[in-house]
Amino acid sequence: KKIKVGVVGYGTVGRGTVQTLISNATEIKRKTGLDVVVAGVADLHITDKNDLYLEQVPLKTTCADELIANPDIDIIIELIGGTGAAFDIISKALKNGKHVVTANKALLAMRGTELMALAHSMHRNLMFEASVGGGIPVLSVLQNDLAANHILKIEGIVNGTCNYILTRMEREKLPFETILADAQKLGYAEADPSGDVEGYDSVYKMIILAYLAYGKWVDVKDVERVGTQIGLAQIEAAHVAGQRIKLIGSVEKQGDDIFIAVKPKAVPLESVLAEVSGVFNGIEIVGDKVGSLFLQGQGAGSLATASAVCADILKIAGTLK
């Protein structure tokens, strides 16, 4: 059976996902026995987009409903971001009997309770590996590999933009504003970087990790959050003390309460987190049986994130063949 997917949003990650499914189709089939086909792509600006991979997609449209209503499509991939239209697309897809894969961390953190309840009621999968850690399979590890563990703590660097800025500030002795401007030119930071540098992006990701660890969605307003407006003097003082400043997200459970924090923290130079540099992410998970595990990899980027999207697609496809 061919498993057909429809991709909504042909931006950085959407393009990477279509490219991966098409260019690595033979490898995917060899490893999984699955024949996954991109049946359609929807994007409001689809007429402005063209590349070798999009040319091979039979249905190209500006209307997501065309994919959602298509009876031949098994899985909808939501990659437009935001919390408005994306909620409607995911909800409509689930109600139409489609399985859904998304990378939408903000939407999950804010409305995950509703969406997961809807997916459960419709007996459909809603999967979101790509919402945290880019290409790092951290959600799969929490859900599957560590299912026999009580999770004692999760701590890590989950925002590549902030890590890039702090890394260069330390190495080059340049101020925050200068490195941020460079990051924007290189595409590592948005034109409005507040979501990254003020810690919101990391907050959303830690909320998702907490949900998978403990089965409860924590409200955004209940998360302790401090941004990365760090001065060179603070970075130098930490270095003299044998430490390095990183924006660290943490999740911990005490009794029935779940505590999440995102804030700059000085970590020892010899620690694994101190070694995570540039746009990379690194996440430590501590389980009561396994002890400490550390996962590191590309926390963003077209193909790294697409790898995580495709992992979810293949997990769902494996139940449909």
pLDDT band at 104 (very low <50, low <70, confident <90, very high): very high
| pLDDT for residue 24 is more than 90 | yes
| pLDDT tens-digit map of 256-271 | 999 999 999 999 999 9
| pLDDT tens-digit map of 122-180 | 999 999 999 999 999 999 999 999 999 999 999 999 999 999 999 999 999 999 999 99
Contact present, 254 and 137 (Cβ < 8 Å): no
Q: Which amino acid is at 179?
A: I
Q: Which of 294, 297, 272 is nearest to 283 (CA)?
A: 294
pLDDT band at 228 (very low <50, low <70, confident <90, very high): confident
Report the alpha-carbon distance of residue 33 to residue 36 in Å, rounded.
10
Catalytic residue flag (residue 221):
no
pLDDT of residue 1: 80
Output 321 or 34, whichever has higher pLDDT.
34
Residues 304-312 have a mean pLDDT of 97
Q: Which of 4, 98, 105, 205 is catalytic?
A: 205
In sign, the C-alpha dihedral spanning 108, 80, 157, 172 is negative
Contact present, 5 and 76 (Cβ < 8 Å): yes
Q: In what order do the strands lie in the sheet with 280-287?
A: 224-225, 257-268, 243-254, 151-157, 280-287, 291-298
Q: Which of 136, 133, 149 is nearest to 208 (CA)?
A: 133
**For residues 79-102, b (16+ Cβ closer than 10 Å) or e, as one string?**
bbbeeeebbebbbbbbebebbbbb
With a pLDDT cut of 70, the percent of the chain lying above it is: 100
pLDDT of residue 188: 86
